[in-house]
A and B are shown apart, each in its own frame.
Chain A
Amino acid sequence: MDFITILQAGVASGTVLLFAALGELLAERAGVLNLGVEGMMLIGAMSAFSVAIATGNPWLGVLVAMIFAGVISQIHAYIVITLQADQVVSGLALTFLGTGISLVLGEGLSKSGTVSLMPSFSIPLLSQVPILGPIFFRDQSVLVYIGYLLVPLTWYYINRTRPGLHLRAVGEYPSAADALGINVFRMRYLYVFVGGVLAGLGGATISLAISPGWFSELTTGGQGWIAVGLVIFAQWDPFRAAVGSYAFGALRRLILDIQGPTSLLGLRNPFYYNPYWGFFLQMLPYAFTVIVLVIGSREAIRKRLGAPAALGTPYVRGERGL
């Protein structure tokens, strides 16, 4: 078992979580909690794969996935922003809806033939750097490289640009933002849409790059929920979200690969000789998500950090409050 290979594959599979987490992070920064990530990812994975099969063009598949998931996200936006319903229940409903729609439209898709995937390539020079080169820059999908660019861009956008300032204002103190002439409602719709687009991209990354194909609900296997958990762990910071995503990606790979070899670090590999221990390995990503939440929440209490102040509350013009 080669750790460089595992980390390389881990970065690739972590990209799925990264896109979903960055999208959720932006929506939550605008004050809207969207628990529909899992559903939107399934929509993305299903539509990307089916469009890529139908047209032979994976790029088109990714594009359709992003648009479809973005459109679906607007149902949640309408319910929680305009109709001011509870964001938790609406987000859950969106997950049910997204799962259902993708199962119906994706019926029979898993038996479909092979599909051309998103291209992979190595970056010259950078891939020659010892250790880091092969992990991050050798034979990665173009989507993985897009992920690298998106992290600093998102950070810069949120923290150093004028629209980013408006975004934070809308999530922290919407009535003040409103008084400044920022259209709180439009901004929230916009960032829920962006969140949906990125969740769709995450789904497309699964079905057209990481583990190609459509395996109904198992395609995402709860990664949308892990992404929501990662945003809390990340304390709404894109760089921490990236670290968390890649770490989880590596863990997922490690679990898959650790059962292969007969010996591990020169010892008999217990996971090879006891294949049923694999069920405990499968629990790890979910158990780690809970642990990561405990760490994130304790840290938040200690440093007095917190979620965007208006997260989860509808904005009603003229109502006293935030």
Chain B
Amino acid sequence: MAESTSVQKRRGGFRIRLEPRLDEPAVWYPAAVSISAIIFALILGGIVIELAGGDAWKSYVHIASASFGDIGVLSDTIVKATPIILTSLACSVAFRMKLWNIGAEGQFIMGAWGASAIVLWPVLAPETSRWIFIPMMILVGMAAGAAWGFIPGYLKAKFNVNEIISTLMLNYIAVSWVNFWVFAVWSESGFQMSHKFADNAALPRLLDYAQTFPVFRGLTTHMGLVFGIISAIILWLVVYRSRWGYEIRLIGDNPNAARYAGISITRNTIYVMMLSGALAGIGGMSEVTGVVHRLQTSPIAAGYGFTGIIVAWLAKLNPLAIIFVSVLFGALLLAGREIQPSGVPKMIQGIILVSLIASDFLLRYRIRIVRTGVEE
């Protein structure tokens, strides 16, 4: 792309001249472009909210105060951000290899199901220690997510089946699967949810330590955040500092070069999809054991997997940047629950993603406005 010749457009007495960038832009430039894109998106979203009869300024002020206003809501924002961190880590590693895993949603749901099965099947007796419960639930949640990632990975590697469609279809299948268990097998007296998990099958929350640290009273931030941060650090090390990560990045940037170098694309496709699924699976496990405390479809299949796609893209697939971007989106989701019309958060996410993709253009091209007739 970088070698392409310039595109020219005639505009009145001026000419907008686009030149491909040959040099690396300054460090601050990509971040500045992304932030401008988000501001542009918020303005655009505001216009649509006004058109739909809402009050844009009020909506945005509400989002800000309802998500960062005091330590209580900040904690709630972080709770919302936790599943997004894990799903967008899942997306980022697959996207890095240009594997379009749109199925983090389904893998997240399966992770939640797998973790719940430990309690509800029951695999472990209810009085088992928390320190056996939690690792077991992580393992099974990861395995369930990885299995859900394996299917599209295998189909892609063996039959060249388009992973976008297959992962998406598996999302719908995962929802039906969990619905079946919630309605038919683990239903609590006919309700569409399982019984509440015992305390030893729940992740520790800050409020559990309020006796020792009174500051923590009422704070629902749970251990899932720790899983998210640890996963992000490990993923960063894997992607940027390991041989395997180098292979993943090489396949993503130039599959032919990777093939010449003897890197197996087939094997990496399956492994990366499984890793991606496992990360999303931890997300599902953390949500069900840290927040919902029972298996129930609607709070689990709430679209975290899809938000993860946007966050991964916004963070330029960097695992550490994902943590911060996830907090912003957690705020959007948290505050968005009370905003009317209810589709607003989803629409703003869409507009942000569109603006971001469009703004990538500014990273690849330099725009020059020149007077016609003037020699350059």
Contacts and interface: CB of A to CB of B under 8 A. Distances in A.
A225 B165 contact: yes
Contacts of A89: 313, 353, 357
B183 to A, nearest CB: 6
Interface string B350-369: 11011011101100100000
B31 interface: no
Nearest to B152: A290
B161 A297 contact: yes
Interface in B167-186: 168-170, 172-173, 176-177, 179-180, 183-184
Most buried by B among A88, A104, A229, A293: A104
Nearest to B307: A96
Interface string A102-119: 111111100000000000
A97 B353 contact: yes
A295 to B, nearest CB: 9
A58 B330 CA distance: 40
A100 B350 contact: yes
A274 to B, nearest CB: 8
Contacts, number: 159
A319 B4 CA distance: 6
A282 to B, nearest CB: 5
Determine the main DSSP class of B at the interface with A.
Answer: helix
Contacts of A289: 165, 169
Interface string B127-164: 00000000000000000000000000001000111101
Contact of B168 (A97, A108, A222, A232): A222
Contacts of B310: 96
A94 B177 CA distance: 28
Contacts of A286: 169-170, 172-173
A313 to B, nearest CB: 10
Interface string A67-109: 0000000010011000111101110111111111111111110
B349 A100 contact: yes
Contacts of B261: none
Nearest to B347: A100
Contact of B340 (A88, A107, A282): A107
A322 interface: no
A39 B5 CA distance: 34
A268 interface: no
B102 A92 contact: yes
Interface string B176-203: 1101100110000000000000000000
Contacts of A98: 350
Given A290-B161, A293-B165, A79 B357 contact: yes
5 nearest A-B pairs in the assembled complex, by CB-CB distance: A103-B343, A100-B347, A97-B350, A96-B350, A107-B341
Interface of B: 1, 3-5, 7, 48-49, 52, 100, 102, 155, 159-162, 164-166, 168-170, 172-173, 176-177, 179-180, 183-184, 306, 309-310, 313, 340-344, 346-351, 353-354, 356-358, 360-361, 364
